[in-house]
Chain A
Amino acid sequence: MSIIFQTVLTLIQALLPNLGGNAALVQKILDALIQIVPVLIQEYNHLLPIVKNIIETLQGNDATTEAQLIALQELDAQVDAAFDDAAAKYDAEGNLIAPSS
């Protein structure tokens, strides 16, 4: 995964406690996310739904946040299933136990 994407996520995480009522901060986060969307479309398509959900949550109001919560739980299921498949290829010591398909 692009180091830029991970850095952006880490920054967002650090800024979250200051979000409440800070419209300028929300806008800056949105600007950063919107800027990386073209890169995601080109190379990291599977990350788009995550970024889309963050953007829609930040842009929305309390009512739309509830819709984003439901969307997040659907994303959870997809992300977890993909991780389970990947993790199943390794044992507890990190040795590869199954050939990759």
Chain B
Amino acid sequence: MKRIILAVVLSASLGGCASFQAFEQKLQNVVQAATSATVSRKAVVVSGNVANGIIQAATDYLNFCAVNNTNVVCKKTAIAKLIPEVRRVQENRNRLEVFLRDHPGQLGQMGLYDALNQSVSAINDVLMAYRLNGAVQ
């Protein structure tokens, strides 16, 4: 962002410089590409389902530990990390779905899509770190 602001300031002060205008055009292209990157609606819907599968895994784990609290796989630190991570996934998934609903026929926004995937990966990381993946059978 600082670079973009600097570019705008430089642009204003060097407006007459042809080489800078070329640079400015390139910069605009990069910023435009970064902010308008999209993903197919199909990929978003599948991604939402993957998120739900991971949320369900977390739910199964919490339910398992509620009745098997002394089981070796039931760790307070894991549970304390898992719950806020799931909330983050729910938030990101909902934001992405609201975007699709409010923009019928348009592609999904890459930033929202990446945020969802990153938060899903964070849950996977917790499950892996505490070796909980196969815990609930």
**What 20 additional pairs, Cβ within 8 angstroms, besides A5-B57, A68-B45, A86-B62?**
A3-B133, A6-B133, A9-B50, A17-B39, A20-B43, A43-B137, A54-B46, A54-B49, A54-B50, A57-B49, A66-B104, A69-B41, A72-B48, A72-B52, A75-B49, A80-B90, A83-B58, A83-B90, A94-B76, A94-B78
Binding site of A, secondary structure by majority: helix, strand, loop or mixed?
helix
Please determine whether B42 and A50 come into contact, CB atoms closer than 8 angstroms. no
Question: Which of A5, A47, A50 has the most chain B CB atoms closer than 10 A to its own CB?
Answer: A50
- Give the residue name and chain of the B residue nearest to A21 (CB): B40
Closest chain B CB from A2 CB (angstroms): 8
| Number of residues on chain B facing chain A (CB within 8 A) | 52
Q: List 18 A-B contacts (CB under 8 A).
A: A6-B54, A6-B124, A9-B53, A47-B53, A50-B56, A54-B46, A57-B42, A57-B45, A57-B49, A62-B41, A62-B42, A69-B100, A79-B56, A86-B62, A86-B63, A90-B62, A90-B83, A94-B76
